Amino acid sequence: MTLLPRPVNIVLGWTTLVALGALVVFGLWVAPPDAVQSDAQRLMYLHVPAAWLAYLAFFVTALTSALYLWRRTRATVWDHVAGASAELGVIFTGLTLVLGSLWGRPIWGVWWAWDARLVTTAVLFFLYLGYLALRRIPGDADARAKRSAIAALIAFVDVPIVHFSVSWWRTLHQEGTVFNSELSPEIGGTMAFTLWLGVLAFTLLYVYLLSKRYELSVLQEELEAVELEVAIAERIGEPAPRIDAAAGAVRDTR
């Protein structure tokens, strides 16, 4: 029912909270303002970890999708994790885009720039949305899991192609270089530490939220099965079955 054992979940939750708290302290206060970007630099401590997580979540979705498709490792847990990770991925991708926008505006004066990384992230966002929309279509759980898995893998293969073609396109136009100095080589000391702290805190948060989302996903599947039983019973005219009977019936037919 849970992805990780309960004690691990609890420890994880508190560790995440502490890490996030430390990130707030370091990001907003301890880390000095950048020489060039001043305090706008502080948005990087969120933007970069969010971007990292967007790609990590995507990778996890692809990996678990592959595990589901491969007969020897097929298990519903992979399908649930794939969906949960994708949902988290959408959130982090959205955050990456918005934070990038908020960071770019004071520094470059624009809300958006057609820089390779931002464009690829935008495409990633829509790839995710399509995947989530596909998952939402009701039907046989196994068929749904399989086609979602294939869609996830296709999207995953596509991302490097998109990144390559877009970055080549932008370097040809010579405009990308200005926007690409988000990770300036002079970043060091407290600033570098805060960045890594951000990556750590967000990764912990990702695992924690993934675990919670997985639980919800499993509960939703149970709920669907029960509602199906109820609907069928109502159609036939029999009284609605009780939960344990319904769960038992569902398990028997599998």
Partner 1 sequence: MRYAEYVVTGWVLTGAVLGGYRLWLTVRARRAREVLARR
Partner 2 sequence: MTLVREALLVSGKDLRIERRAKVTLSQVVPFAAIVLLLFAFALDPDRGVLTRAAPGLFWIAVLLASLLAVSRSFAVEAENGARDALRLSGLDPMAIFLGKSLAVLAQLLVLEVVLTIGVVVLYDLSLRSLVPLALASVAATIGVVATGIVYGVLTAGLRLRETLVPLLVLPVVTPALLGATRAWEASVDGVPGEAWPWVAVLGAFALIAGTVGLLAFGPLLEES
Query: Rounded CA gap, 113 and 121, in Å?
Result: 12
Identity of the residue, 171 or 181, whose beta carbon is nearer to partner 2 in the bound complex: 171
Classify 34 as helix, strand or coil. strand
**Which does residue 43 touch among partner 1, partner 2, none (CB within 5 to 8 A, set by kind)?**
partner 1
CB distance 37 to 107 below 8 Å: yes
Query: Rounded CA gap, 138 and 145, in Å?
Result: 11
Cβ neighbourhood burial of 51 (10 Å; 0-12, 13-18, 19+):
buried
Classify 38 as helix, strand or coil. strand
- The CB-of-228 to partner 1 minimum distance in angstroms stands at 13
- The CB-of-82 to partner 2 minimum distance in angstroms stands at 15
- The CB-of-150 to partner 2 minimum distance in angstroms stands at 5
**Which does residue 10 touch among partner 1, partner 2, none (CB within 5 to 8 A, set by kind)?**
none
Residue type, 35: A
Query: Rounded CA gap, 46 and 137, in Å?
Result: 33
> Per CB under 8 A, does 116 bind partner 2?
no
> Per CB under 8 A, does 50 bind partner 1?
yes
Ramachandran category for residue 166: left, alpha or beta (phi over 0 → left; psi -120 to 50 → alpha):
alpha
Classify 254 as helix, strand or coil. coil
> Per CB under 8 A, does 10 bind partner 1?
no
> Per CB under 8 A, does 134 bind partner 2?
yes
Pick the binder of partner 1 from 183, 219, 228, 231 (CB under 8 A).
219
Dihedral sign for Cα 136, 120, 31, 200, please: positive
Residues within window 144-163 making contact with partner 2, judged by CB under 8 A: 146-147, 150-151, 154-155, 157-158, 161-162
- The CB-of-40 to partner 2 minimum distance in angstroms stands at 30
Residues within window 97-136 making contact with partner 1, judged by CB under 8 A: 98-99, 102-103, 105-106
Q: Which long-range contacts (CB under 8 A, 24 or more apart) does 206-210 make?
A: 206/53, 206/56, 206/57, 206/88, 206/92, 207/12, 208/9, 208/12, 208/13, 208/16, 209/88, 210/3, 210/60, 210/81, 210/84, 210/85, 210/88
Identity of the residue, 162 or 230, whose beta carbon is nearer to partner 2 in the bound complex: 162
Binding site for partner 2 (CB under 8 A): 123, 126-127, 129-130, 133-134, 137, 139, 143, 146-147, 150-151, 154-155, 157-158, 161-162, 164-166, 168-169
Site of interaction with partner 1 (CB under 8 A): 24, 27-28, 33, 38-40, 42-43, 46-47, 50, 91, 94-95, 98-99, 102-103, 105-106, 205, 209, 212-213, 215-216, 219-220, 222-223, 226, 230, 240, 242-243, 246
